[in-house]
């Protein structure tokens, strides 16, 4: 009887601890699992908490991945390579990653990342300007063709605004 109460108490504690962890930002299933393991909860309690969270709609890896990409687009645009890596790190299944990135507009994301930098780099020569933009974009996970295309567009925009 006493051990049943302890087990129930631990399951509830794990669940409420996971809810607390979710207060700060949405999390993937694996992130919550890892968090609860770090807090030394038993595997039964972790499984129970994850199940309850899913049943109550608090965790959903598909929604999490979509939200993660929207957030990245809005605040820190990245390319498909970087986004894929981040989502894998969060424990998102490959099929979900593929599904959420199918409509991803990588040139738009690259352009959004570059716009704030153009003004800062306007005094540079063409080669140095393009090199800085290209390196910045490649560090953000954009592929060669996107980097080249956006570098050329950024130089055109920058050189037109410099003439005016």
Q: How confident is the model at residue 9, as a pLDDT? A: 80
Asked if 110 and 159 sit in the same domain, the reply is yes
More confident residue, 118 or 83: 83
Asked if 157 and 111 sit in the same domain, the reply is yes
- Taking 90 as the threshold, does the pLDDT of residue 4 lie above it? no
Asked if 22 and 49 sit in the same domain, the reply is yes
Residue 112 structural domain: 106-163
Asked if 48 and 15 sit in the same domain, the reply is yes
Asked if 110 and 157 sit in the same domain, the reply is yes
Domain count, the chain: 3
Asked if 46 and 15 sit in the same domain, the reply is yes
Q: How confident is the model at residue 17, as a pLDDT? A: 95
DSSP string computed for 109-158: HHHHHHHHHHGGGTTS-HHHHHHHHHHHHHHTT--HHHHHHHHHHHHHHH
Between CA 104 and CA 70 the distance in angstroms is: 10
Stretch 108-123: mean pLDDT, rounded?
Answer: 90
Asked if 84 and 49 sit in the same domain, the reply is no
Q: How confident is the model at residue 113, as a pLDDT? A: 92
Q: Nearest-CA neighbor of 105 among 140, 73, 65, 82? A: 73
Asked if 7 and 35 sit in the same domain, the reply is yes
Q: How confident is the model at residue 128, as a pLDDT? A: 93
Asked if 115 and 139 sit in the same domain, the reply is yes
DSSP string computed for 26-95: ---HHHHHHHHHHTT--HHHHHHHHHHHHHTTS--HHHHHHHHHHHHHHHS---HHHHHHHHHHTT--HH
Asked if 110 and 82 sit in the same domain, the reply is no
- CATH code for the domain in which residue 11 is found: 1.10.10
- Taking 90 as the threshold, does the pLDDT of residue 55 lie above it? yes
**Average pLDDT in the chain:** 90
More confident residue, 2 or 111: 111
The DSSP call for residue 25 is S
Band of pLDDT at residue 158, cut at 50, 70 and 90: confident
Asked if 95 and 118 sit in the same domain, the reply is no
């Amino acid at each position: 009887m006493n051990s049943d109460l302890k087990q129930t108490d631990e399951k509830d504690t794990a669940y409420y601890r996971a809810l607390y962890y979710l207060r700060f930002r949405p999390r993937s299933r694996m992130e919550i699992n890892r968090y609860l393991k770090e807090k030394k909860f038993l595997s039964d309690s972790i499984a129970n908490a994850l199940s309850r969270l899913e049943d109550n709609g608090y965790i959903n890896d598909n929604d999490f991945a979509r939200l993660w990409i929207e957030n990245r687009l809005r605040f820190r645009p990245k390319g498909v390579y970087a986004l894929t890596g981040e989502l894998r790190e969060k424990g998102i299944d490959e099929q979900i990653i593929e599904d959420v990135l199918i409509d991803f507009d990588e040139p738009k994301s690259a352009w959004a990342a570059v716009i704030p930098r153009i003004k800062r780099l306007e005094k540079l020569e063409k080669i140095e300007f393009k090199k800085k933009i290209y390196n910045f974009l490649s560090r953000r996970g954009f592929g060669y063709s996107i980097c080249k295309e956006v570098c050329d567009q950024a130089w055109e925009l920058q050189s037109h605004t410099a003439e005016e």
